[in-house]
Structure 1
Amino acid sequence: MEAGGTDAFKKSGGAPVSIPVETKAVGGTFEDRNWYLGVGSHMRNVSGNVSVVPDAYGQPKITVDYQVNVWDRYNWDAGKETPIGPVTIKDTDMARLHTVGLAQEFDMQGSSSAKQHDLGGAGAQAVPAGDPGRDGTRKDPARGEEENR
């Protein structure tokens, strides 16, 4: 990423450049039991932008803005089942509830808030660690407010 940004910066004659970036989508399944029961398997990727601008000495200064994207179709698959306490929930039973209108399959999607990493000058070696975020609790007082969804 850095080499492409500095190459584009040099090619532009030192003018600011902006390069959109996006990873390939990969699938995964949450290991945390609550997330597994709430979402299960999902697709995710990271999208963003690499900006290279001249610093005070005309040297390239690189910044990456990015966000994580997650999506899936919440549905029930024949042959699958999930134990929850002493009960085993079969996907075929849940699918039947959907068919008769007592449950609903739905599309799930979301994106993290935008994050930024300053990679420094062209010779910078390390990416600083980002904010680790919440610890998985529901103690965020702003959670549920429209601008935080």
Structure 2
Amino acid sequence: MNRTSVSKERRRHLADAASGFPERTRVILYACLPETVDPAPVIARLREYADARDFVVPEGGVLIDTDPKGTARRERAGWFTVSTLLRDGAVEGIVAPSQAHIEGARGDYAEFTAWLTTYGKFVCYLEERCENAVAADGSAASA
């Protein structure tokens, strides 16, 4: 199988994350929760997941949106920061509780996966393997 340069770079980042060499992979911890939900337990689970994989969460790398479900990603304040950090190469991936936290409107997840692939970035969901934006089952933290 011929791998594209983007695919090779993504695999290298995942391998670096596993080995810790030459530098650890930087990720954003992201969730979209209702204002009535305490984000602390969700953030703790995301951080535990990232720490277990030797991911680095940079300063300002925990972003919680409080928009209603179904709000387009582009309309979320936190998502603007996430997309900027990914595009600018400040981080290599996203750790989120489930796909539902990223998906804005029904059917826009395919656009998201294509966008991630363009930049050679990845997304990980709690208790699921990391892949380049592969859909994953939700978690108990999904609200």
- Shared fold, TM over 0.5: no
Normalised by the length of structure 2, the TM-score is: 0.22
Report which of the two has the higher share of helix: 2
Report which of the two has the higher share of strand: 1
Normalised by the length of structure 1, the TM-score is: 0.22
Which has the greater radius of gyration? 1
